[in-house]
Amino acid sequence: MNHHQAHQALRHADGWRKSSQSQGSDNCVEITTAIPGWVGVRDSKLAPHSPTLAFTHDEWRALLAAARTGEFDV
């Protein structure tokens, strides 16, 4: 499955769950791993109509590692 196909499949996937880091906040993301080999990410406030991002497992691990080391200015 290529990136475009995964993106389309993730938009309609089940199994979305809020980040464990949200702690009841409205400002959080939801993820799903319902499509094998892919991680979908969307804004929980706009779900299910939020734009969806699609990451391979390697891309997802790299994103999390970068976030943990403070690579992003948020």
Q: pLDDT digit string (tens) for 17-74?
A: 887 776 666 678 899 999 999 999 998 887 777 889 999 999 999 999 998 999 987 6
Ranges of H-type helices in the chain: 3-11, 57-68
Residue pair 10/54 in contact (Cβ under 8 Å)? The answer is yes
Tell me if the pTM is above 0.85.
no
Total Cβ atoms within 10 A of residue 59: 14
Relative to beta strand 29-32, strand 38-43 is antiparallel
Residues paired with residue 31 on neighbouring β-strands, in sequence order:
17, 41
